[in-house]
């Protein structure tokens, strides 16, 4: 398995796949080999289907995780092993179309008030105030904060793309307070380990603690703050293509789901039932 893993790693690095994607792909290919106790190059499409059923029925993984496993296996066989197998040999699970959880502005305030510690509060405020992903926030450097132009530089975000995010005056004040209190040298949110930034897990744990302390009866993750950022911008009248650029979405379809979450237009509509009531009153 080791020579094959190295070949696959080389193929992923040549194609500049994100480090997290590389780790996930290797993980699922290792799981495939462990399940059959055989090297993957000795397996075929029937075994791939059996492995997928195992992930769905026994492991009960989410559709997103099952599909990621299929992407990893497809990369191994189509790219590294150069198998000329059609797409249907790598079946994908239908992903339910669920609306993202969104906090109200009042809930965001209440949640942030319960975040433990200045560092984690500043980091989670950056997630909401600039709409950043958790992986983007933890890797921010001091030099990424452009207070002259009121922008945050996001270097090599998802899809290995650079972009600029908004820097609000209130967020700048919070970040300056954090910087003056600790004087970090390179990373905006450094780890207790020298020369490293805080981990994604530590920020997720702080988010989980704040959710329990706040008592808000919603599922709140770091990504919920990003969803709330986009939805609140849309409800305040921001053009959806501007939101697309701020979030770093490649396709407008990804951003458009926030139009289904936004309640501003729904609240402003009148139900046909109200018109029926008016007509009934007029007859009286």
Alpha-carbon gap, residue 260 to 230, rounded angstroms: 12
Q: How many CA atoms within 13 Å lie on the side-chain side of 190?
A: 14
Measured in residues, the chain has a length of 284
CB–CB of 77/194 below 8 Å?
no
223 is catalytic: yes
25 is catalytic: no
133 is catalytic: yes
> For the chain, how many helices (H) and strands (E)?
14, 3
Catalytic residue among 74, 121, 139, 226: 226
283 is catalytic: no
| Ramachandran angles phi, psi of 99, nearest 5° | -75, 140
Alpha-carbon gap, residue 275 to 260, rounded angstroms: 25
Catalytic residue among 133, 139, 163, 232: 133
260 is catalytic: no
Q: How many CA atoms within 13 Å lie on the side-chain side of 38?
A: 9
Catalytic residue among 77, 120, 128, 258: 258
The pair of structure tokens assigned to 182 is 């600790």
Catalytic residue among 89, 158, 164, 257: 158
Catalytic residue among 5, 83, 89, 249: 249
Catalytic residue among 83, 89, 223, 257: 223
- Looking at the DSSP bridge assignments, the partners of residue 166 are 151
Taken in order 44, 46, 52, 54, the sign of the CA dihedral is: negative
28 is catalytic: no
Of residues 231, 216, 225, the one with CA closest to residue 263: 231
Catalytically active residues, by annotation: 133, 158, 223, 226, 249, 258
């Amino acid at each position: 398995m080791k020579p094959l893993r190295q070949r696959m790693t080389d193929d992923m690095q040549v194609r500049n796949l994100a480090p997290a994607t590389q780790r996930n792909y290797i993980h699922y290919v290792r799981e495939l080999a462990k399940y059959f106790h055989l090297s993957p190059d000795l397996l075929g499409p029937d075994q791939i289907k059996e492995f997928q059923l195992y992930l769905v029925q026994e492991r009960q993984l989410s559709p997103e995780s099952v599909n990621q496993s299929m992407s990893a296996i497809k990369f191994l066989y189509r790219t590294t092993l150069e198998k000329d197998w059609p797409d249907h040999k790598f079946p994908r699970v239908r992903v339910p179309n669920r609306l993202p959880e969104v906090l109200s502005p009042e809930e965001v305030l209440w949640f942030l008030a319960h975040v433990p510690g200045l560092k984690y509060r500043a980091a989670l405020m950056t997630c909401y105030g600039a709409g950043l992903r958790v992986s983007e926030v933890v890797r921010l450097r001091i030099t990424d904060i452009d207070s002259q132009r009121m922008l945050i530089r996001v270097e090599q975000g998802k899809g290995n793309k650079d972009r600029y995010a908004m820097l609000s005056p209130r967020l700048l004040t919070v970040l300056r307070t954090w910087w003056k209190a600790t004087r970090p040298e390179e990373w905006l949110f450094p780890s207790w380990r020298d020369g490293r930034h805080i981990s994604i897990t530590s920020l997720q744990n702080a988010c989980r603690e704040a959710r329990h302390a706040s008592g808000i009866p919603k599922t709140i993750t770091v990504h919920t703050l990003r969803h709330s950022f986009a939805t609140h911008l849309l409800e305040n009248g921001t053009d959806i293509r501007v939101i697309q650029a701020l979030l770093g979405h490649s396709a407008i379809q990804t951003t458009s789901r926030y139009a289904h979450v936004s309640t501003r237009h729904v609240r402003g509509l009148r139900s046909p039932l109200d018109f029926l009531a008016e007509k009934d009153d007029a007859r009286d």
